[in-house]
Amino acid sequence: MNDSKMVYSTLITPDGTILRSRHRHDYVIHTDANDDVYMLGGGIDYIRSSLNGDEQYFTLTLDDDHETIRQYVDWGSYGKNGDEPLHYIKVMDMETDHIKAILSTIPHVHPHLKQVMINELEYRNGKTEKGVKVVDYHECPSCGLRITTAQVLSARRNYSCTNCGEHKIRQFKIIYK
């Protein structure tokens, strides 16, 4: 199987249990109704699984239709303020700003998932949003200092507002044209 661009990996056992491996070291194990043990690991990098012979697999790759991918691939979140229990949001249900924030602020997003996020933004621009919103500038919520998107993206660290120090630049409000 060509799993080089995998974005979703599950194994379905004979009793209908769905095992999903989210990342490389995520090994999920299930003792089936038939007493055999089923296992899946490897996340979206490769498939490492039990070989009882009656495993079924359901995987998605970047070659699949994005319409399908967005209904399955999800993203773990601790909420806007990082204080909620871990929960998973399907890409189709994520807020556009959340996706943009992930793309611009999280350095080590798996490249396959990053591509899913980019595809989702394109999907929304083409199908669900009227026109593309253009960012004008980023504004400090406390003092109103304005900086450009280029300044935010090129910043090597998330420094505090150079005027008032109240907010980090990644927390600046995005103002659209």
Tell me the site size for Zn ion, rule CB under 5 A: 7
Contact of 40 with 19, CB cutoff 8 Å:
yes
Among 143, 151, 159, 173, indicate the residue that binds Zn ion (CB under 5 A).
143
| Distance, CA of 123 to CA of 13 (rounded, Å) | 33
Nearest to 29 by CA among 37, 149, 78: 37
Contact between 163 and Zn ion per CB under 5 A: yes
Cβ at position 168, least distance to Zn ion in Å: 10
Residue with tokens 């980019």: 118
Q: What is the DSSP letter of 171?
A: G
Q: Which is nearer to Zn ion, 79 or 144 (CB)?
A: 144
Contact 158, 169 (CB under 8 A): yes
Q: Binding Zn ion by CB under 5 A: which of 18, 103, 155, 164?
A: 164
Q: Which of 6, 19, 40, 145 forms a contact with Zn ion (CB under 5 A)?
A: 145
Site string for Zn ion, 103-142 (x = CB under 5 A): -------------------------------------x-x
CB 158 within 8 A of CB 133: no
Q: Are 163 and 141 in contact (CB under 8 A)?
A: no
- CA-to-CA dists, residue 158 to 28, 93, 110, 114, 161, angstroms: 36, 27, 21, 21, 9
* Span interacting with Zn ion, options 9-17, 18-26, 87-95, 159-167, rule CB under 5 A: 159-167
Compare residues 105 and 163 and give the one whose CB is closer to Zn ion.
Answer: 163
**Nearer to Zn ion among residue 37 and residue 164 (C-beta):** 164
Based on CB atoms, which residue is closest to Zn ion, 11 or 161?
Answer: 161
Q: Which residues are at the interface with Zn ion (CB under 5 A)?
A: 140, 142-143, 145, 161, 163-164
